[in-house]
């Protein structure tokens, strides 16, 4: 089953089927109805209303200024523009770290705007919050590795999980999120070998960005994939507009490259 042949919106169960069948899951970030329509037409299975909108839509240097209402506004637009893709909304900085109750309240706003799942950054320290939300009807996606909301703690946008201790911590964080009930984890900017190990140790979907090709799927930031400014493009970015006849064609090429495993290539991955 793939998004191209479904006539309804995909569910978590549909994504689980793709995962169990070993088919790579394709996720794009998306922020508006026009691109949602275009990505839907290219068979993209999941759209993430990422807090990267702080950078690519609002022009900030970090994702920190993004609010719950910003994400809710863009989630509603993406929902209106798409009929098929599974919709995930990012929980912005400061909207979930205080307490499980705070996280739940803000996640409710995002689900009411049209999200089918919310994503939050962090590992073991967020496990109780994830459990609280999942038990109350909110599917959760974790996010490990380079977590942009912690840019000031990390000291910049740097590859994470390097070295034995850091790799071990990340593996434990992934297991803690799974145990708490998360059904998907984004792995950002970590060595490919570590992402492979994390993916192998879990029974849930991993979605990589700068994490090699062995994750259960890939997420592309729309502005990266279509070579839209602003921002310096990271090592893991491929410009799918190169050689494409249209944005639709570029989106179809991205889907094909992820599905057949030709993206990401060795030149897009980090060593341990
Ligand atoms: O906000 C975002 O776009 C993200 C992706 C990079 C995974 O979190």
The string of pLDDT tens digits covering residues 70-124 is 999 999 999 999 999 999 999 999 999 999 999 999 999 999 999 999 999 999 9
- 78's CB contacts (< 8 A; 6+ apart) are 30, 31, 32, 33, 35, 36, 47, 49, 87, 114
Q: Which of 147, 169, 96 is nearest to 126 (CA)?
A: 96
Catalytic residue (choose from 45, 188, 197, 214): 188
Whether ligand 1 lies within 6 angstroms of the CB of 52 is answered as yes
Tell me the CA–centroid distance for residue 50 and ligand 1, in Å.
5
- pLDDT at residue 252 above 90? yes
Shortest-distance Cα residue to atom 4 of ligand 1: 50
Break the chain into its structural domains and give their ranges. Answer: 12-268
Q: Which of 30, 123, 124 is nearest to 85 (CA)?
A: 30
Tell me the CA–centroid distance for residue 52 and ligand 1, in Å.
6
- Mean pLDDT of the residues in the chain: 96
Annotated binding site for Mg(2+): 51, 90, 121
Could you read off the pLDDT of 166-218 as tens digits, one per residue?
999 999 999 999 999 999 999 999 999 999 999 999 999 999 999 999 999 99
Q: What is the pLDDT of residue 229?
A: 86
Q: Kindly report the pTM of this predicted structure.
A: 0.97
Q: Active-site residue 188, yes or no?
A: yes
Tokens of 169: 């911590």
**Topology given in CATH for the domain delimited by 12-268:** TIM Barrel (3.20.20)
């Amino acid at each position: 089953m793939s998004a191209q042949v479904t006539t309804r919106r995909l569910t978590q169960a549909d994504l689980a089927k793709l995962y169990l069948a070993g088919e790579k899951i394709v996720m794009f970030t998306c922020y508006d109805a026009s691109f949602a329509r275009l990505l839907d037409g290219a068979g993209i299975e999941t759209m993430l209303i990422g807090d990267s909108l702080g950078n690519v839509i609002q022009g900030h240097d970090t994702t920190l200024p993004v609010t719950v209402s910003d994400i809710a506004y863009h989630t509603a637009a993406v929902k209106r523009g798409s009929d098929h893709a599974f919709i995930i909304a990012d929980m912005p900085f400061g909207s979930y770290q205080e307490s499980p109750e705070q996280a739940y309240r803000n996640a409710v706003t995002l689900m009411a705007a049209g999200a089918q799942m919310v994503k939050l950054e962090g590992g073991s320290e967020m496990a109780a919050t994830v459990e609280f939300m999942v038990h109350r009807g909110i599917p959760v996606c974790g996010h490990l590795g380079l977590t942009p909301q912690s840019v000031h703690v990390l000291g910049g946008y740097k590859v994470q999980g390097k070295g034995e201790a850091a790799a071990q911590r990340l593996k434990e964080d992934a297991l803690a999120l799974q145990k708490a009930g998360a059904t998907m984890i984004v792995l950002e900017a970590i060595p490919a070998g570590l992402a492979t190990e994390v993916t192998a140790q879990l029974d849930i979907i991993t979605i990589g960005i700068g994490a090699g090709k062995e994750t259960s799927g890939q997420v592309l930031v729309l502005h990266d994939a279509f070579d839209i400014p602003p921002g310096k493009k990271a090592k893991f970015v491929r410009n799918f507009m190169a050689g494409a006849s249209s944005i639709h064609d570029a989106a179809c090429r991205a889907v094909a490259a992820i599905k057949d495993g030709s993206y990401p290539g060795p030149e897009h991955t980090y060593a341990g």
